[in-house]
Chain A
Amino acid sequence: MKVAFAKPGLPKAGCLAVGVLETGILTPSAKEADDATCGALTRAIKASRFSGKADQTLDIIAPSGLAVDRVILVGLGKACDVTPRRMESFGASAMSAAEKGRSTELTIAIDVLSETPVSSATLAAHAALGAALKSYRFDIYRTKQKPEDKPAIASITLCLDDAAAAKTAFLPLSFIADGVGLTRDLVSEPANVLSPSLFAKVAKGLEKDGVTVEILTEKDMHKLGMGALLGVGQGSEHDSHLVVMSWQGGPKDEAPIAIVGKGVCFDSGGISIKPAAGMEEMKTDMSGAAVTTGLMQILARRKARVNVVGILGLVENMPSGTAQRPGDVVTSMSGQTIEVINTDAEGRLVLADALWYAQEVFKPKAVIDLATLTGAIVIALGSEHAGLFSNDDGLCKALTEAGTEVGEPLWRLPMGEAYDEQIKSDIADMKNTGGREAGSITAAQFLKRFVKDGTIWAHLDIAGVSWSKKALATAPKGASGFGVRLLERLIANTYETPLHPVTEKKTTPKKTGK
């Protein structure tokens, strides 16, 4: 889908989206359209329940006085609440409404509102981002799509005075849209297609953006002693892999941030097999790895001034004669032994080795892992917040703030010795389940055993937020890509070297780490 920015002006075709503030106050663009249609907008608002509340929409089909197919009124809420996030919803709502018709173009009018401190260029860029994120489709497997079901919008144009500034502001956001798209693609791909090997290949493709990608084979992992990870994949026909992506955009010797993603390409549960109903959703059990991959693409494309390694633990968890059995004891790369009580608690086994590898090889400044780890997190927090666990209050604060900024909220849950007791094993260093109570917490306690003393670490349990059965503000039904924007924002806010005008040309820029 093409995104363009232009000077203000009523379009001659397609859809026009204009903003309306709460209690039906027309923005200047809406007023312009209203005048051109001899008050059709005002009359339509009066006749409907549309009041300008945030994200309400009202369509006026083919009004006389304008050459457009459809005028879309989008509620902006209160003027003082018009933030970049609100504009994302604005763009997304405009997109959803426009896709109802057959138009191929959508024009979105951006107005300067005096109560809004943010520039119209930023607002426009975020509206474009929202529209782009909402327009995501995963249609590649449809062979018989009726013309009326196919998306028609091929281009969107945002109109504002400072079109050039908006175009500049949108460039980094376009990378975000693409990165989220990549993540959603990976999550949506069914497991007969996206095997660990194919996933690794996709990750390897990031080399063209300047990312260094190494793919470890099962043989490599055996040598490293990754008994926990290998145990999970041993029942599958597909080989397991550890993918190590490295983006060096910061000072040469600066310790990187490590992002570790759970990449269980399909989770049947293994011998502790899951119930049949709904098991198809387990193709999404590699969302953590998908988020990591999308993030690396964004950082590379926008040439982020930071060193980040992304590590993917890619396996398929299947039952078979060679699969691991409940009761098996495996030895992890760290040397700790694990009694596998439940083969369906496999994500933590994969992460145990991936986390250890990340710390051993890269000695990172901080390690953040993401995983669709526990069903318990859905019972705990539902689908609004992802679960956050950490050994560092500072990192928690930074993550939570970043999450609020981009609309990917986190909620921290406690950890502690009493919970750690629950994973004590009678015969090994630990077991991989902690009983029915506090399941997400005991999973986090398990992971913590693989975090070295002194390493700053956070764990995001995204099982409730990575796949949605209904459309979200800036996502259609299905893969949300939750976590990509969160981590990108965290890195930009907390770890990225800010632009230093004086030293920009130097080969070793002054470290001003936060």
Chain B
Amino acid sequence: MIRICFADRDNTAPWGNTPLGAADAWITGHRTSNPSPRGSLARPMGLMQTLTSGDVCTLSPSTASICGWTGATELPSVAALTESAAERLGQHIGAAIIRPGIRRVFIDADLFPGIAAALASGLVLRAEPRLCHKSRHDTPFDDATACPEEVVIITTNPTRATNAWTEREPATRATIWARHLIDTPANHLTPAALQAEAETLIPLGVRVTTLDATALAAQGMNLLLSVGHGASQPPRLIILDWPGSDETAAPLALIGKGITFDTGGISLKPAEHMEDMKGDMGGAAAVLGALRAAATRRSPMHIVGLLAVAENAVSGRAARPGDVVMACDGSSVEIVDTDAEGRLVLADALAHARNAFAPFLMVDLATLTGAVARTLGAWHGGLFANQDDAATRLECAAQTSGEALWRLPLPSESSLDEALKSDIADLKNCAWGVAPDALHAAGFLSRFAGDTPWAHLDIAGVADAPKDTARERAGPRGFGVRLLDALIRDLETTPWPSTSML
């Protein structure tokens, strides 16, 4: 984990007087051609030349640019940086400093405190390495896990910067945690292991209850039971309750799809890239991350997280296509495609959330459909809502956090009835053929959300960053943690229902 410190130019305490060495990187806001950095960081040009070439990034005062191995990138001038631009700049720096051998990084640009914290956030998000299970490293410095130990950011006010970072850090670190959960292969992150991860929130003050198979049966949550029936570990509903300042207040309910591995079940997926399906609990990871962040910063909001956890495995005990199962709200579902299992586990979770907690707003996140990736690709998550207010709040949070969403329509009642018409049950779980499956899945869920204000985020397309760029590392994004954090903060400031125009 990268350690972030803030210091001002006159106080060199965090690192003492250790001179810059080969294991360090110096990112400066001063032109190298016009040398005279002030204070005790003044280094003769000669010493700079002893640094391995490419270890110096220069942000020039007038046009901030990062030169060197990431290529020249023009960014707004340091003085004009906004928080979101600073976050992006932090990402660029993050990409530049993850070279084997760099231990400490100094960012020497006299940043304002809020800007410094934003930069730190972007840097951590980009630089933190992926989860690594390698048993040995082929070279002493392995690219995949290279990351600095410490980043020191020069700021005009270290105390304020540290406070600003304290505000940002929980969501940032929680995003990294979510990424690791998603990256953890399914033989390690089993339903039981995911439960154990959830239970690490207990010391933070989150109450964690798990409904096991027996409890699920008692509650009539047969859809969740059916999906998890084929696996060696039973399914479960993990309920996290963060009381906030008033645990009797109607909570915000966050529901996450937690399929620890999705083979597709009897409607088996093709083999190629099935390993990606260890990430089918990305929705649950987002909810966990959001709860961790909220609890760490002691959010005043009462938040309930529900993780519908199961492994969708193939076996003699797996659900068969055609099975008719009763959801916990009493409706019957004909499972025509066992690979449309996410909507089944979410349905039970949504209905249970409504019954047990009477939330004022429900938000579910799920890596739900291939169709949403065919629609919006890797750059916008799909947003559905049964009320415009809910949609607006989520869109606002998306803007604030930079985790993009795009609203899609819920199907009309009649077209949904037709698409999911079952001959023998209340509805089927999906339609065959060339169908707008993201819309159908959302429509299916809307039946279980009822008239409780509800938003559904289909994050199947955005869960992974497709490639290494200056701004993001290829691999799981931990999408949704920062979005939910922004939503929670917004609801803290402007309680539901919102009356203000955005």
Quick one: which of B379, B409, B437 has the most chain A CB within 10 A?
Answer: B379
Contact A438 B409 (CB under 8 A): no
Nearest residue in A to B436 (C-beta to C-beta)?
A382
Q: Is the CB of B434 within 8 A of A379?
A: yes
Query: Do B434 and A375 touch across chains, with their CB atoms under 8 A apart?
Result: yes
B459: shortest Cβ distance to chain A, in Å?
Answer: 14
Interchain CB contact under 8 A, A382 and B415? yes
CA gap between A441 and B438 in the complex, in Å = 16
0/1 string, B366-385, CB within 8 A of A gives 1: 00000101111111100000
Complex interface bits, A398-435 against B, C-beta within 8 A gives 1, otherwise 0: 00000000000001011010110010000000000000
- In the complex, whether A43 has a CB less than 8 A from a CB of chain B is no
Residues of chain B lying within 8 A (CB to CB) of residue A416: 379
Does A411 contact B409, Cβ atoms closer than 8 Å? Answer: yes
Q: Which of B371, B377, B409 contacts A419 (CB 8 A)?
A: B377
A223 contacts B by Cβ under 8 Å: no
How many residues on chain A are close to B (CB under 8 Å)? 24
- The answer to whether A418 touches B378 (Cβ under 8 A) is yes
Q: Do residues B374 and A439 form an inter-chain contact, with CB atoms below 8 A?
A: yes
Residue contact B406 to A413, C-beta cutoff 8 Å: yes
Considering only CB atoms, which chain A residue lies closest to B369 in the complex?
A: A379
Query: What's the least CB distance linking B420 to chain A, in Å?
Result: 12
When chains A and B are docked, how far (Å) is the Cα of A439 from the Cα of B378? 12
Expressed in whole angstroms, the minimum distance between the Cβ of A460 and any Cβ of chain B is 16
Residues of chain B lying within 8 A (CB to CB) of residue A440: 375
Cβ 8 A contact of B371, one of A379, A383, A414, A442: A379
Number of residues on chain B facing chain A (CB within 8 A): 23
Q: Which listed residue, B373, B376, B409, B436, touches A378 by the CB 8 Å rule?
A: B436
- On chain B, the residues within 8 Å of A411 by CB distance are 408-409
CB < 8 Å neighbour of B373 from A381, A385, A413, A437: A437
- Taking the complex as formed, is A436 at the interface, i.e. its CB lies under 8 A from any CB of chain B? yes
Q: How far is the CA of A292 from the CA of B346 in the complex (A)?
A: 45
Contact of A380 with B by CB under 8 A: yes
Residue of A376, A384, A418, A422 touching B374 (CB-CB under 8 A) = A376
Q: Which of A243-293 contact B (CB under 8 A)?
A: none
Question: Once bound together, how far apart are the Cα atoms of A471 and B323, in whole Å?
Answer: 32
Are B377 and A385 closer than 8 Å at their CB atoms?
Answer: no
Q: Does B412 contact A (CB under 8 A)?
A: yes
Q: Are B374 and A413 in contact (CB under 8 A)?
A: no
CA distance A422 to B378 in the complex (A): 11
Q: Which residues from A are CB-within-8-Å of B406? A: 413-414
**Which residues of chain A have C-beta atoms less than 8 A from B377's C-beta?**
418-419, 422, 437-438, 441-442
Partner of A438, one of B375, B415, B438: B375
> Measured between C-beta atoms, what is the minimum distance from A240 to chain B in Å?
29
Complex Cα distance, B92 from A88, in Å, reads 57
- A444 CB, min distance to chain B CBs, angstroms: 12
A384-B412, A413-B375, A437-B461 are known contacts. Are A379 and B436 too (CB-CB below 8 A)?
A: yes
Interface residues in B370-417 (C-beta closer than 8 Å to A): 371, 373-380, 404, 406, 408-409, 411-412, 415
How far, in Å, is B215 (CB) from chain A's closest CB? 38
Nearest-CB distance from B488 to chain A (Å)? 25
- B45 interface residue (CB < 8 Å to A): no
A379 and B374 contact, CB distance less than 8 A: yes
CB-CB under 8 A from B434, the residues of chain A are 375, 378-379
Within B95-110, which residues are at the interface with A (CB < 8 Å)?
none
Kindly supply a per-residue 1/0 record for chain B positions 431-449, scoring 1 wherever the CB is within 8 Å of any chain A CB and 0 otherwise: 0001111110000000000
Chain B residues near A419 (CB, 8 Å)?
Answer: 377, 379
Q: Which residues of A contact B374 (CB under 8 A)?
A: 376, 379-380, 436-439
From 129 to 187 in chain A, residues with beta carbon under 8 angstroms from any chain B beta carbon are: none
> Considering the chains assembled together, what is the distance between the CA atoms of A198 and B439 in angstroms?
39
Output the residue of B377, B379, B461 with the most chain A CB within 10 A: B377
A375-B436 Cα distance, complex, nearest whole Å: 11
CB distance from B113 to the nearest CB of A (A): 31
In the bound complex, CA of A436 to CA of B466 (Å): 13
How far is B112's CA from A169's CA once the two chains are assembled, in angstroms?
A: 66
Chain A contacts for B436, CB-based, 8 A: 378-382
Separation of A418 and B404 alpha carbons in the complex (Å): 12
**Closest B-chain residue to A375, C-beta based?**
B434
B411 touches A384 (CB 8 A): yes
A344 to chain B, nearest CB (A): 15
A441 to B379, CA, bound (A): 11
Is A438 touching B379 in the complex (CB atoms < 8 A)? yes
Q: Pick the contact of A382 from B373, B439, B461 — CB < 8 Å?
A: B439
Give, as a whole number of angstroms, the nearest-CB distance from B148 to chain A. Answer: 28
A220 to B402, CA, bound (A): 49
**How far is B74's CA from A206's CA once the two chains are assembled, in angstroms?**
54
A440 to B408: give the CA distance in the assembly, Å: 14
Question: Which A residues lie within 8 Å of B409 (CB)?
Answer: 381, 384-385, 411
A274 to chain B, nearest CB (A): 13
Interface residues of A in 51-72 (CB under 8 A from B): none
Contact A382 B411 (CB under 8 A): yes
Within 8 A of B (CB), among A367-389: 375-376, 378-385
Docked-complex contact A414 and B408, CB < 8 angstroms:
no
Given known pairs A436-B374, A437-B374, A438-B375, the reply for A381 and B380 (CB within 8 Å) is: no
Determine the chain A residues whose CB is within 8 A of the CB of B461 once the complex forms.
437-438
Contacts A413-B406, A414-B406, A437-B461 known; A379 to B412 CB distance under 8 Å?
no
**Contacts of B39-56 to chain A: CB distance below 8 A:** none
CB distance from B481 to the nearest CB of A (A): 21
A434 smallest CB distance to B (angstroms): 8
Which residues of A lie under 8 Å from residue B404 when comparing CB positions? 414
Closest A residue, CB atoms, query B419: A382
A437 (CB) vs chain B CBs: closest residue: B377
Closest to A470 in B: B418
Q: Which of A436, A437, A441 has the most CB of B within 10 A?
A: A437
Cα(A314)–Cα(B379), bound, Å:
34
Q: Are A380 and B371 CB-contacts (below 8 A) given A414-B380, A419-B379, A438-B379?
A: yes
Closest to B418 in A: A470
A379 close to B437 (CB less than 8 A): yes
Separation of A442 and B374 alpha carbons in the complex (Å): 11
Residue pair B435, A379 in contact (C-beta under 8 Å): yes
Chain A residues near B411: list those with CB within 8 A: 382, 384
What residues of chain B lie closer than 8 Å to A380, measured between beta carbons?
371, 374-376, 408, 436, 438
CB-based nearest B residue for A434 = B377
Q: How far is the CA of A489 from the CA of B411 in the complex (A)?
A: 25
Q: Are A382 and B435 in contact (CB under 8 A)?
A: yes
Which residue of the partner chain A has the closest CB to B382? A380
- Contact A381:B379 (CB < 8 A) given known A414-B406, A437-B374: no
**CB pair B378 A437 closer than 8 Å:** yes
**Chain B's nearest CB lies how many Å from the CB of A342?**
16
**In the complex, A384→B408 CA distance in Å?**
12
Residues of B within 8 A of A413 (CB): 375-376, 406
Shortest B193–chain A CB gap in Å is 31
A382 to B412, CA, bound (A): 11
Which of A380, A384, A418, A422 is most buried by chain B, counting CB atoms within 10 A of its CB? A380
Closest to A376 in B: B374
Q: How far is the CA of A382 from the CA of B374 in the complex (A)?
A: 13
B375 contacts A384, CB within 8 Å? no
Centre residue among A378, A379, A383, A442 by max chain B CB count within 10 A: A379
Q: How far is the CA of A438 from the CA of B461 in the complex (A)?
A: 9
Given contacts A382-B436, A418-B377, 19 further A-B contacts (CB under 8 A): A376-B374, A379-B374, A379-B438, A380-B371, A380-B408, A380-B436, A380-B438, A381-B409, A382-B439, A385-B409, A411-B408, A411-B409, A413-B375, A413-B376, A414-B404, A418-B379, A438-B374, A438-B461, A441-B377
Enumerate chain A interface residues (CB-CB to B < 8 A): 375-376, 378-385, 411, 413-414, 416, 418-419, 422, 436-442
Q: List 15 A-B contacts (CB under 8 A).
A: A376-B375, A378-B434, A379-B435, A381-B436, A382-B435, A383-B415, A384-B411, A385-B409, A413-B375, A414-B404, A414-B406, A418-B379, A436-B374, A437-B377, A441-B375
Give me the 5 closest cross-chain CB pairs, A-B, nearest first.
A438-B377, A382-B436, A380-B375, A437-B377, A418-B379
